[in-house]
């Protein structure tokens, strides 16, 4: 009994030492978490093309990895950089001077109150909302600008994952305190959630925003392509996404005297954009892996604050990973306790 107790004590001490070192390393490398997440996400997406080039075509691993990295830059980074440039050019001047936002919101709401004889918000509420929007906007913009500096590290990690990823993945999976069945389950579901969030959700958002762009153009909205970009970004949030754009735009049209076009945009958004979102989202995510809407909503909130715009993808992946680990814990240890 004493021998078992001493063995258990040594084991607990050893685990505590490992956890302490992991926490210490993690804390000092927390800035690079987006790079690790991004590298692993791209690794999952590029693994099959990498196998095709190295096994079927017999290309060297280094050349194959570099070529796939260049292609991924063209497909992912350049469009993302273009979106950031468009939004930054339009909204950065407003974020730099919050007083302009306060004056604009105050005037807009005052005109509505005078026209329709209702009190919408008090002066204190207007100021609070404006300050909150500016603060959140600056936080997201700051995180986004910081995340751009992590791209180099992301591709540095990705190179080693592509050239030696299978061995690294096999070694990391062997560290998990899971049986073989649950290890395979973890690996399969991890790939599914990465595909669902990194491919499925952006495709749904892109398709929905393209449909919304047609409505903006027909209704005569100023700078429809800008609002297409904004719609694409907010469409990552299920249910409410595009509504956060086309409803305010419709009310602006009505406020400016274009009542028929404002009503048209409202109906177009609710009927066409909403239906397309629900049908396409249901069909696509069932094909490549479903993600619960609550996971996406909370993931987007967490991801934006941590990583900026790229958190629209990595945030839901983090939340999905947490849910997957909890599920695995229940499968692994609830059975043990029952036995």
Give the global pTM: 0.66
Nearest 5°: the CA angle 104, 224, 230 is 70
If we measure between CA atoms, which residue out of 128, 144, 127, 31 comes closest to residue 92? Answer: 144
pLDDT at 66: 92
Q: How far is CA 16 from CA 21, 24, 99, in A?
A: 9, 12, 52
User: How far out from the chain centre does Cα 290 lie?
Assistant: 15
Provide, rounded to the nearest whole percent, the portion of the chain with pLDDT above 70: 68
> What pLDDT, on the 0 to 100 scale, is given for residue 1?
47
148 pLDDT above the threshold of 70? no
DSSP type of residue 177: S
Distance CA(274)–CA(269), nearest Å, equals 6
| Arithmetic mean of pLDDT, 94-106 | 58
Question: Region 147-175: what's the mean pLDDT?
Answer: 81
Give the confidence band of 214 by pLDDT, cuts at 50, 70, 90: very high
* Backbone φ and ψ of 129, nearest 5°: -65, -45
Alpha helices by DSSP H, listed for 117-235, are: 123-148, 151-175, 180-195, 201-219, 224-234
Residue 268 banded pLDDT, cuts 50, 70, 90: very high
Of 201, 238, 228, 153, the closest CA to residue 314 belongs to 201
Q: Give the residue extent of every domain in the chain.
A: 28-175, 177-339
Output 239 or 183, whichever has higher pLDDT: 183
């Amino acid at each position: 009994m004493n021998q078992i107790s001493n063995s258990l004590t040594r084991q607990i001490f050893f685990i505590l030492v490992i956890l302490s070192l992991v926490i210490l390393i993690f804390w000092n490398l927390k800035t690079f978490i987006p790079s690790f997440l991004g590298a692993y996400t791209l690794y999952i997406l590029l693994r099959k093309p990498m196998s095709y080039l190295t096994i079927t075509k017999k290309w060297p691993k280094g050349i194959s990895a570099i070529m796939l990295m260049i292609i991924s830059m063209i497909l992912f980074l350049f469009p993302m950089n273009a979106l950031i440039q468009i939004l930054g050019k339009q909204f950065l001047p407003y974020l730099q001077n919050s007083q302009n936002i306060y004056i604009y919101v105050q005037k807009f709401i005052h005109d509505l109150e005078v026209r329709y004889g209702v009190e919408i918000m008090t002066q204190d509420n207007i100021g609070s909302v404006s300050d909150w929007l500016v603060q959140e906007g600056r936080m997201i913009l700051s995180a986004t600008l910081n995340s751009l500096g992590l791209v180099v590290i992301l591709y540095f990690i990705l190179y080693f994952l592509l050239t030696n990823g299978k061995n690294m993945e096999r070694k990391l999976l062997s560290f998990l305190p899971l049986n073989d069945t649950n290890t395979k389950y973890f690996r399969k579901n991890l790939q599914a959630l990465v595909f669902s969030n990194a491919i499925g959700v952006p495709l749904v958002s892109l398709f929905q925003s393209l449909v919304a762009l047609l409505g903006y153009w027909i209704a005569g909205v100023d700078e429809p392509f800008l609002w297409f970009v904004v719609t694409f970004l907010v469409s990552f949030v299920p249910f409410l996404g595009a509504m956060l754009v086309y409803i305010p735009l419709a009310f602006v049209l009505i406020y400016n005297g274009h009542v028929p076009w404002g009503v048209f945009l409202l109906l177009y958004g609710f009927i066409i954009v909403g239906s397309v979102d629900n049908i396409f989202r249901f069909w696509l995510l069932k094909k490549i892996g479903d993600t619960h809407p609550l996971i996406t909503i909370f993931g987007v909130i967490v991801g934006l604050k941590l990583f900026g715009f790229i958190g629209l993808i990595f945030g839901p992946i983090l939340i999905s990973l947490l849910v997957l680990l909890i599920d695995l814990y229940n499968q692994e240890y609830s059975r043990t306790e029952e036995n």
